Structures are given as C-alpha cells and as structure tokens.
Structure 1
Amino acid sequence: MARVVALVVLLVFGQAGTAWADHTADQTVTVRVVDGDLLLSVERGPMALPTPAFSGAWYTTTGTLPGLTVVDTRAADPGWSLSGQFADESDGTPLSWTPTLVDQSAVQVLTMGKAIIGMRGSGLLAVADPAAGRGTAHLTAGYRLLLPKADGYTATLTLTVI
C-alpha cells in the first residue's frame, strides 16, 4: 500500500517593524430549513388472504400484514402515532392483530401497540415519542380473521399516521 505524505510549508517573510494590516471580510449566509414530512408507505399490491380453513363454527385465516414504513423528517420532531381502522363488510368477526416492529432508526423511541383480539373501531400499531420519532421505522402485524361462512369476503383496513 502506497503512502502519500504531504508536507505544506508556509513561509512568511516580512521586515522587522512592519505592521500587517488587519484584513477581514464579512459574508452573510442565508439558509432556509424546510420542515420535513411524515410519510406512511405500504408494500405494493392488494392484500390477498390465505385460504380460510374451517375450524368449528368459523373459517379462520391468518397471516402478516404487508410491510409498513413510517418516515418522519419533520424538524420539530413531535412524535407520531400509527393506527388502523378495520371496516368489515360481512358478518365476520373483526380482525385480531399483534403489532410487530421490524426495525427502526437508532434515535427513535417507539412503543408498540398491544395485541387486540376482535378489533372493533381503531387499534394502535405504534407510537413514536416526541423528540424521538424522527427517522424510519418498518412495522407489520400478524393477523387472524374469523369468517362465518364459505363465501367471498371484502373488508378495508385503513392505516393512519399522525
């Protein structure tokens, strides 16, 4: 491995008794810090549920939600909250889920939501503490869904980050 050594020698010559003039210059520097964004992205494509299996009185399907990514670049770093609202369009039992943290930025402090059995209304996936939410977090949730009969099934899961 070659080594490169640079030696810089600055020689200042002057005469004894010569006064050096004080040279200064001011430059105004202006920068605009743009507040960032709070973004949520979901892995692409519709969520296809595994084929339900009959288990007593219900058909059961389980799996994992597509990957969720929360990116917070806001300068104020107020923290954030990620929740989901499940809208069931049949007589099925509401979604049950267990939130899971995949990874997060080193500076983030996150609290995961609790497992919910039979979620009605909204459920919390995760919360980022104020002054500790800036960065990127990857999350998901394991789910279970009970269906009353063998039939087509449609539901909507709305995810919100604020």
Structure 2
Amino acid sequence: MPVFSDWVLGVYSFFVNLPLGALLLLAFPRFSRRVADSAFEGPGRAGAAGFMILVGVPVLLVLTAITIIGIPLAVVGAMVFGVLVWVGAVYGRIAVGTWLTPLPRSRAAGPPSSSGSRSWQSWSGARSWAGSRNCSSLPPSYRRSSSS
C-alpha cells in the first residue's frame, strides 16, 4: 500500500505545483529570472538565507503566540508562512530546473553576450559540467533582452 500512496502523492504534487509554477513565471517573469540567477550565482548564500527564514519565522511566530493578542496573529502568520514556503519550494524547483536544463548551441557560438544573465566564468563552468555538449546560459524565456 505505501507504494500506491507514494505514487498518488507524486502525481498530486506534480499537478498542484505545475500550475503554481506556470502562474509565478507568467505573473512575475523578472522576479523569477532573478531567483534563478541568484540560485545559480550564489547557491550557498541563497540556501543559507532560505534556511534562516525557514527556522527564524516559526520561532518568531511562537514568540508572538505567547501573548493573548499575538495568538491570532501567529495563526494567520503560520498560514501565510505555509503558503510562502510552498511558493519558495516551487521557485527552488524552477531554479534547479533552469540550472539543469542546458540548451544545445553551435560550437562557433561562443559564450553568451554581455547582456546575458551569467558571467563568462559561470558559463564556462556550466560548459565543462556538461562535458562535450554545448550549453546555452539560460532558456530563451529567461534571457535578458536588450530592451530590459
């Protein structure tokens, strides 16, 4: 029975997170690009900030719940925190997916232009990680255009 429930939970998770991710990408394209860029350029820093928020906010909510007036605030805060953790998890999956999804490029194309979102060092690191494949820095939907 646990195998069936794991499978059902995985399918449910996919069909719940996919529309949220699409909505976030459509509603906040620049912010989504910055999230993907910051996760690529400083994964340790982004992970540490996320961990501090994941631990710090519940502690603050418990401290708020100590008073009678703070109890309703803590309950509402916990619900908002739960939604924000869900959104953060989806953004984390978007950032990892962006990092893991190299696009083929011609050998003569060279590194991304200076208007690209990643530096030469990170591009060459991604290229060496991908081995013999040629990689683009980001999918087209995340690339910065000259107008932005």
Which protein has greater RCO, CA pairs closer than 8 Å, 6+ apart? Answer: 1
TM-score by length of 1: 0.18
Flag the structure with larger Rg: 1
**TM-score with structure 2 length normalisation?**
0.19
**Which has the larger strand fraction?**
1
